[in-house]
Amino acid sequence: MCGIVAYSGKKESVINSLVTGLKRLEYRGYDSAGIAAISSSGIYDKKTVGKVTNLERAVLEDQPVGLNGIGIAHTRWATHGEPTVANAHPHASADGRIWVVHNGIIENYLEIKKNLQKKGIKFTSQTDTEVVAKLIGDLYKGDLRSAVLETVAQLKGAFALCIISKDEPERLIGVKYASPLLVGIGKDELIIASDASAIIERTKKVVYLEDGELVDINKSDYEVVSFQDEAIDKSVEKIDWDVDAASKQGYEHYLLKEIMEQPEAIENSLRGRILLDEADVRFGGLMDVSARLKDINRVVLLGVGTSYYSAKLGELYFNALTSIPATAAMSPEYRYTKNNIDKNTWLIAVSQSGETADTIAAIEEAKRHGALVTGLVNVVGSSISRMTDAGVYNHTGPEISVASTKAFTSQSLLLLMHAILLGRQQGLDFSASKKLIRAVVDLPKSIGEVLKSRDLIEKVASSIRKDNDLFYLGRQYNYPIALEGALKIKELAYIHAEGLSGGELKHGFIALIEPGFTTIAIATDDVVKDKMIANIAEVKARKGRVVAIANEVIKQADATVVVPNIGSDMLQPLVNNIALQLIAYYVAKERKLDIDQPRNLAKSVTVE
Ligand code: F6R
């Protein structure tokens, strides 16, 4: 979604810290950006449409003087109102004395706006955020904190806010409710941000705010209070990754870097969790709920987008390795279906960001029914990691590129390990489990082999760069991979693609096959390979083009990406998917698209 960074510290660092922080957050939203900083003559502000570099250029031209070291900044992903300068944040109170940046959504903004308009207050943007600035201004009687607390009491929805006032030039206030916000504790400086990537260059010490908390910064001191203005004692935590993890490290794009670092990322996901001699796995994060896991009679795997596709793989894993029925559920639909869940249901919420609004709403629904809810989350300290009963972190380091790659591989692998954990409790055979765990341990090496053949994959990708429509076919464990492969090429290369089970093809979809129509068919050696070969023949009979992902050259196909046979039907799809990630990357590159920040997308979708 949008990104917030706010700074209180050295005068000379304010603009640089805000702009660098925004650049780090740009992957969260990139249609406009803005800055407001306290200066000796009041407030300096600048807003621009487009990327943060436009803002940086404009601020450099202005060379603002007299700044005192306190400011707020924002990069936006439009929800209310088009991406224009007027709609960009920060927004100001009617008298221009108070400035606000906001992430999230104010559900009752129209009602508040009408009340303020009745008082004669004029609005200049179409945003929900502007009502917050105007309301704080209306309620302000000389104490910013009181005005903010009175304001948040009237707001409905999700909001992370940072606020400054010309009348209290030493003060910076941050507020969190259902949208993430943290405070970086640096040397002689404090930085508020919606995401740790914005502060990691300056400090690793961090205070995570919880819903209903306000941080009141007075130059170098800070105090956290509840929305009822009661003091809260917060602990300072340490971010366990460093700035390198959030940089491109010589790669042209974050996406390629994140694809290429998967062997290492997966090693990190596995560290300390494999008990090879016992043919078992261990998750420290699930220890506290181990007694409850014994009474589970149903498993629900929840997610949306790429995380839903890993949940679909997880569904297959649980159903194969345990006798407990498992279903994947798509977060946005979850509340609108009859779920029949109770305290014996184990719901695993899968989310890279840990902030996805639909997944959060579904978790709340499951909790209302008493289900055991655990998280499988990449971002440490994120909302989902905090609201679940227990959970497992991916530990794959920050995923900056908007399209998810390494998180998917890690999620799928860790879901397999969740299934092994439950399976072993129910008597999953020792040697079968050991064989599987050995394949898990070997997976990083196998992924590394696919990555080595990326030049060949680039050539195959080149052959589909002009296609407008594609089918991705897979069966059994490769069906979720077909769905994920199709999503990746849609997001990155803007090619319309459908992920299908090979078995679905004849039930309508085949009508679209005509000479030259390309189908990407996953036909690695497994129990459904013959069926996939039959699908390939069906496409060829209609003069379609086929690119196969297989363990050896498929003679019926027009091209084959050969991937290593890793001897595990359950894990082979994760190797196959690497080839699909690279295909999507190279097609997008040939089409000269904005790979790390595709149009209309945002990294974490914190509104429903
Ligand atoms: C796809 C992608 C999205 C996310 C989805 C869920 O590449 O990034 O489909 O997977 O928005 O996000 P998380 O996993 O953060 O809950």
Task: Name the residue with tokens 């249609």.
Answer: 31
- Please say which residue of 422, 452, 482 terminates a domain: 452
Give the sheet arrangement for strand 32-39, strand by strand. 42-49, 32-39, 67-76, 3-8, 190-193, 182-185, 205-208, 237-238
* Residue of 28, 255, 306, 488 to mutate, ligand 1, most atoms within 8 A of C-beta: 306
- Residues 231, 252, single domain; the answer is no
* Residue of 605, 606, 607, 608 to mutate, ligand 1, most atoms within 8 A of C-beta: 605
At 29, the pLDDT band (50, 70, 90 cuts) reads: low
pLDDT tens by residue, 217-247: 998 899 999 999 999 999 999 988 777 777 7
- Residues 359, 417, single domain; the answer is yes
In a domain? residue 130: yes
| Amino acid of residue 153 | A
pLDDT tens by residue, 108-142: 999 999 999 999 999 999 999 999 999 999 999 99
- Residues 442, 524, single domain; the answer is no
In a domain? residue 357: yes
| 2 belongs to the catalytic site | yes
The pLDDT of residue 436 is above 90: yes
Q: How many domains in the chain? A: 3
- Residues 275, 424, single domain; the answer is yes
Peptide bond into 90 cis (omega under 30): yes
In a domain? residue 602: no
**Mean of pLDDT over the chain:** 94
In a domain? residue 598: no
In a domain? residue 335: yes
Tokens at 257, concatenated: 């870097």
Cα–Cα distance, 578 to 359 (Å, whole number)? 26
In a domain? residue 597: no
Opening angle at CA 140, ends 138 and 143, nearest 5: 170
In a domain? residue 603: no
Distance 55 CA to ligand 1 centre (A): 28
Tell me, what CATH number does 484's domain have?
Answer: 3.40.50.10490
Pocket lining: 305 vs ligand 1, CB cutoff 6 Å:
yes
Tell me, what CATH number does 53's domain have?
Answer: 3.60.20.10
- Residues 308, 160, single domain; the answer is no
Q: Is the pTM of this model over 0.75?
A: yes
Opening angle at CA 227, ends 223 and 233, nearest 5: 35
Tokens at 25, concatenated: 């957050």
CA of 407, closest atom in ligand 1: 14
* pLDDT for the residue 397: 87
- Please say which residue of 239, 260, 289 terminates a domain: 239
- Residues 166, 21, single domain; the answer is yes
Pocket lining: 322 vs ligand 1, CB cutoff 6 Å:
no
- Residues 382, 297, single domain; the answer is yes
Distance 587 CA to ligand 1 centre (A): 21
Pocket lining: 605 vs ligand 1, CB cutoff 6 Å:
yes
Opening angle at CA 291, ends 290 and 296, nearest 5: 90
Give the pLDDT mean for 492-513: 96
Distance 557 CA to ligand 1 centre (A): 32
Domain span at 22: 3-239
Pocket lining: 404 vs ligand 1, CB cutoff 6 Å:
yes
In a domain? residue 605: no
The residue annotated as part of the active site, out of 2, 23, 176, 589, is 2
- Residues 291, 432, single domain; the answer is yes
- Please say which residue of 188, 210, 239 terminates a domain: 239
Q: Which of the 8 DSSP states describes residue 556?
A: T
HEC profile for 206-241?
A: EEECCCCEEEEEECCEEEEEECCCCECCCCCEECCC
- Residues 447, 467, single domain; the answer is no
Distance 400 CA to ligand 1 centre (A): 12
* pLDDT for the residue 1: 62
- Residues 234, 284, single domain; the answer is no
Give the pLDDT mean for 359-367: 95
DSSP assignment string, 458-518: HHHHHTTTT-SEEEEEE-GGGHHHHHHHHHHHHHHH--EEEEEEGGGTTTTGGGG--TT-E
- Residues 566, 479, single domain; the answer is yes
- Residues 469, 427, single domain; the answer is no
